[in-house]
Amino acid sequence: MKNYKKGLLAVMVLAAMSSMAATSNIIKVTTFEDENGENLNQCSLREAIETARKNKSFGGCNVGNPNNGQTDYIQLEAGEYLLTKGELVPLNQIVIEGKSRFNYDSKNLLTQKFPAYEDIRTTINAQGKSRIFNTSRSEANFIVNNVRLTGGMAEDRGGALYLGGAFTLNNGAIENSQAKVAGGAIYSVAHNMSKKTLLVSSLVQGNVAPKGSVVAMDCIGNLGDTQPEIVFQQSSIIQNGSSTSNSVMDFCGNAKVELTANTIAKNQANPSTGSIIRAISQGTERLSAFSSFVLTSNTIVENNAASTYYYDNNGTKAWYFNVLAYNTGGKSCRYLNNAVPDNGQKFVASNNAFELAAAQCDLPESVLNSTESFLQNHDVSSYAMGTLLSALQTKSAYNLYLPLYYPKAIGSGFDLINLGLDGCSDADQRGILRITDGTLQLSPTQRNTCDIGSVELMNLTAADMADITNESLTALQDKYQNTIDALKKDIDDPDYAEYKVANQDDLTKYEAVFSALKNNLKYRAVYFDPFPASLPQEESVNGSAETRQIALNADNYTVTTSPIGIGSEITVSSTGEASIVGNPPHDLHCDWDAGIKQIVIYRTSGATTAPTEYGFCKYTLKQKTGSQAESSGVVRVAFKNMTPVAKAAQYTISPSNNLSVTVNNLLENANDDGDGPVASMPAGKSVWHKNEEGQIIPIRFTKIPAGLNFEAEYSGSCPASYLKETCYGGKITFSVKNGFSQFDYPVEYSVVDSDGIASSNAILTLKNTAKNTNSSSSGGGSMGVFGLLALIGLGVYRQRRLSK
C-alpha cells in the first residue's frame, strides 16, 4: 500500500510522514535551469518560490496552495539544480521536497526490510557564487527534505543558510559552503522570538568560516538577547572548519541547544585559541544565563582544536551518555580562560565517557564527585580509542549514509555497551529504537540498556509481553482480508507503481498466513507474533566494523514454546525456570504455528480467565546461523468472551395466513463466531444459553410492538445478568391481534451465549403485505392546493414561452 510500513527505523518513519502527502496542490519544478520568468514552458526552483509567494502562476509554474497564509509544497526531481542568479529568498511558508530516498524495489541493507534507503538524489548547488537560502529579512519558515545543499558562499554571514525564520532539514546535507565572517553552513537571526533550526538525519561536512564554520548567530537584537533554538538530531557533523577558524559551532544569546545522537568528529579550529563548540560570553557576544545545552548520546571524538567544548558558567548544562574524548590539539572540555570551573553553575552529567585522568576535561567538582549512582561518569583515559570505538566509517547504506563510529564489545572490563541504565536517546543515530525498558524475567542480564554514544548495538532480546487478550476471530479474519484487498488494489493502481514490488512481497506473505489461519482457528485463541516487540541480533558486515540486523522473522530464527500455566503471577528460579505460584494444574496450550508464523495460545476447555487470572507462556528465539544467539521471553494473556452477534431479519405476514408467521430458526440470523467457529468448540460446550432441560433458549425480546402476540417452542430464565427476564428458543410464532392491521411490526431482540453475554439489539421486521386502501393516501382523489398551484404555474410558464 502507499503508506508502506517501514519497520523500526525512526528516521524512516519521520520521513515517511511527509507533509507532501497531505496536499495535491504541489508546485512541480520541471527544469534544472535557474530561470526567472523568461520561459513559460518550464518551472524552475526560483520561479516555484515566487509562485508560492504570489499565489499565482509565475514562469511555467502551476499555482500551489491558493489559500493565503498556508504552506506551499515544491517538488524537485533527482538531479542537480545550479544557481546562477543569486540566492533564493523564500517569502512565505514552504516545503521543498527532493526526490524520495526510499526505493521500494529493494530491501534496506541495515534492517533487511522494504524499502531500501538510498543516498541523496537531489542537489541544490550555488557553485560558490552565492549563498543558497536567505530568510533574514522575510523571517519566513521553511522545510527542506531529501536535498543536498552545497557550494554556498557569503561575503559576510551564512554561507548556505542565512535564517531569520524557523528552518528544518530532514534527511539532507549541507556541504562545502563558506562565509567570510560567520556561519559557514548556517547563520541564525532570532531577534523577536524563538526561531528553531532543526537538522534531522543529515550530513554537515566541509563547511568553513572564521567563526562558526557550521553554525553561528546574532547574540543581541532589539536591545535584548536573541532567542536561537538549535536542535541537531541523528546527524553527522564532520570535517568542518580550518586551522584558522575560531569555532565550528558558536553559541550566544539566549540559546536553547539540543544535540542528540550525533557524530561530531574530525572538525578543526585554531589549535591555539579555537573551539569546536564555543559557548561563552565575550564582550558584546554575550551568552545568556538562561541559555541551555542538552547533549544526549553524542559521539564527539577526533576533533582538533584548543578546546573541543569551551564553556563558562552561563546557562544550564545537561549531558547524558556522550563520548567526549580522544580529541587532539588541547582539551576536550575547557573552562573559560583555563580557570577552575565554577562549582555553583547548573551542570548535570550522567554516564558520559571522559578522559579525566589525563586532565583532558575540566568539569566542576559537583560533577566529578557526585555520590549519586545515576550521575556517575566514566574515565576512559586508560583505554585507547581503538579499544572502545571503531574507526570513522564512511557513509554507506548500513549507516544511512552518515559517517559514524561503532562501539566495540570488549568482553571483559569496561566498554561503552549496555550500561544497565536508561536515559539515553530513544533512537540511535541510525534511527534504530533503543528500547531500554524491557523486563526479561527469564534472562534479565540480556536486557538491552543504554550504550554510550550515538550508536546502539543490538543483541537478540525476546520481549516479555503482558496484557494480551484474544480478539474476535471474525474481526481478525476481516483484518487480513481487508489488507489483502487493499494490497491488490494498490498493486493494480498505476499511481502506486513505485510500491508494487514491496506490496507484492507483502501480499504473498499475507495470503499465505491468511490461508493457514483459516485452517487453524482455535476456540478463543490468542495469536501472538513474537517478532515485532523483540530486538534483533546484529552482525558484522563482511568482517568490517559496520553491522546489520538479522531481520526478525521465521526464516532467520527458530521459535520454540512451552506453557507455564494459569494463575495470577509467576516465580522465576535461580536457573531461569518459570512456574506459577502454587503450581496448579492447567489446560493451557502454547504452540508455534509455522504456517501462520505466530504463537497460538488457547485452553482446551475454552474457558475464560478470571479478572486476576492469566495464562503464561514461555517462548524462545534462536538465531539459525552465525552466533546462534538465543533469548527467551514470557507472554501473559487473558482469555475473554467475545460478544455474540444478532443481525436484522425480515419475515412476511399477510391476510392469507391470518397475519401470522412461524420462524423456525431465528438463530440463523445470529452467530458467536468471534469466539471461534462451531467446529473449533471444545467437546461438551454449547454456543448458546440453555434452560434446565438442556433446550437452547438464547433469544431475548427487548421490545415487542403493541398488538403483536408470540409463542415460543422453548422458554426459561435468562442468565444471571438478565435473571428477571425470560429467554426463548426453538420455533417462534408471531401473530397480529387485529386481523385488519396494515402495519409492519418491528421486533427488537438480542441473543445470549452460553457464558451469559448478550449481543447488541437487532430488528426482526414482520413485513405486512396487506394493501393500504385509505383514501387519505391521495391515490387518485383530491389533487390538493399545492398540486393545483403547481399546474397553474406550469401553464403560465408555457404561455410565456409560446408568446415569445
The predicted-structure confidence for 197-247, as pLDDT tens digits, reads as follows 999 999 999 999 999 999 999 999 888 899 999 999 999 999 999 999 999
Q: Which residues pair with 264 in a beta bridge?
A: 237, 300
Chain-centre distance of CA 562, in angstroms?
A: 32
pLDDT at 358: 75
**Does the pLDDT of residue 302 top 80, yes or no?**
yes
Q: What is the pLDDT of residues 515-559, one digit of tens each?
A: 999 999 999 999 999 999 999 999 999 989 999 999 999 999 999
pLDDT, average across residues 405-434: 93
End-to-end CA distance of the chain: 61
Q: If DSSP states are collapsed to H, E and C, what string results for 148-184?
A: EEECCEECCECCCEEECCCEEEECCEEECCEECCECC
| 124 and 99 Cβ atoms separated by less than 8 Å | no
Question: Where do we find the cell 572564521?
Answer: 210
- Residue 722 CA to residue 730 CA, distance in Å, equals 20
Q: What single-letter DSSP state applies at residue 542? A: T
The mean per-residue pLDDT over the stretch 312-335 comes to: 98
Angle made by CA atoms 110, 115, 118, in degrees to the nearest 5:
70
* pLDDT value of position 522: 96
Model confidence at 801, in pLDDT bands (50, 70, 90)?
Answer: very low
For residue 39, pLDDT beyond 50: yes
Pick 466 or 793 by higher pLDDT: 466
Give the residue, 562 or 721, on which the prediction is more confident. 562
Which CATH superfamily, name and number, covers 645-777? Immunoglobulins (2.60.40.10)
Q: How far apart are CA 33 and CA 36, in angstroms?
A: 9
pLDDT over threshold 90, residue 636: yes
* 2 has a pLDDT exceeding 50: no
Per the CB < 8 A criterion, the answer to whether 586 and 566 are in contact is: yes
Q: What are the E-state strand segments in 487-533?
A: 526-528
pLDDT of residue 425: 97
For residue 465, the model assigns a pLDDT of: 95
Rounded distance between C-alpha atoms, residue 665 and residue 651, angstroms: 12
SS3 state of residue 496? helix
How does pLDDT run across 668-695, given as a tens digit for each residue? 999 999 999 999 999 999 999 999 999 9
Residue 643: the pLDDT is 98
Task: List b or e across 143-165, with b for residues whose CB sees 16 or more CB atoms inside 10 angstroms.
Answer: bbbbbbbbbbbbeebbbbbbbbb
What percentage of the chain has pLDDT greater than the value 70?
Answer: 93
Q: What is the pLDDT of residues 273-293, one digit of tens each?
A: 999 999 999 999 999 999 999
CA pair distance 266, 298, nearest whole angstrom = 14
- Cβ contacts of 504-508, under 8 Å, gap ≥ 24: 505/114, 506/1, 506/4, 506/114
pLDDT band at 24 (very low <50, low <70, confident <90, very high): low
User: Grid coordinates in use for 19?
Assistant: 507533509
Q: CB atoms < 10 A from the CB of 708, how many?
A: 20
| CA–CA dist 353, 430 (Å, integer) | 21
Amino acid 739: pLDDT: 87
Q: How confident is the model at residue 786 (pLDDT cuts 50, 70, 90)?
A: very low
User: Is the pLDDT at 649 greater than 90, yes or no?
Assistant: yes
- Cα–Cα separations (whole angstroms), residue 639 to 1, 106, 468: 33, 40, 9
Rounded distance between C-alpha atoms, residue 140 and residue 163, angstroms? 8
**Are the C-beta atoms of residues 35 and 44 closer than 8 Å to each other?**
yes
pLDDT digits (tens, 9 = 90+) for 422-452: 999 999 999 999 887 777 899 888 889 999 9
Contact 368, 354 (CB under 8 A): no
pLDDT tier at 15, thresholds 50, 70, 90: very low
Structural contact between residues 250 and 311, judged by C-beta atoms closer than 8 angstroms: no
Q: CATH 2.60.40.10: which residues of the chain?
A: 645-777
Q: If you average pLDDT over every residue of the chain, what do you get?
A: 92
Largest CA distance in the chain: 110
Between 87-101, 573-587, 731-745, the lowest mean confidence (pLDDT) is in 573-587
| Type and span of the H or E element at 300 | strand 299-301
The pTM (predicted TM-score) of the whole model is 0.88
With cut-offs at 50, 70 and 90, classify the pLDDT of residue 772.
Answer: low
CB 574, CB 434: distance < 8 Å: no
Among 246, 290, 295, residue whose Cα is nearest residue 272: 246
Question: Does 22 or 505 have the greater pLDDT score?
Answer: 505
Helices 500-518 and 473-492: crossing angle in degrees, nearest 10, is 150
Better pLDDT: 684 or 479: 479
Q: Is 658 left (phi over 0), alpha (psi -120 to 50) or beta?
A: left
Q: How far apart are CA 357 and CA 360, in angstroms?
A: 8
Is 778's pLDDT higher than 70?
no
Please name the helix (run of DSSP H) or strand (run of DSSP E) that holds residue 10, with its range, or none: helix 10-16
Q: Over the stretch 684-725, which tens digit does the pLDDT of each residue have?
A: 999 999 999 999 999 999 999 999 999 999 999 999 889 899
- Which pLDDT tens digit goes with each residue over 164-192? 999 999 999 999 999 999 999 999 999 88
In this prediction, residue 231 carries a pLDDT of 99
Rounded CA gap, 96 and 85, in Å? 19
Q: Specify the 3-state DSSP secondary structure of 724.
A: coil
Q: In what order do the strands lie in the sheet with 526-528?
A: 526-528, 598-603, 588-593
pLDDT at 9: 47
186 neighbors 211 (Cβ within 8 angstroms): no
Q: What is the pLDDT of residues 366-377, one digit of tens each?
A: 999 887 878 899
- Single out the residue of 153, 133, 156 nearest to residue 143, CA to CA: 133
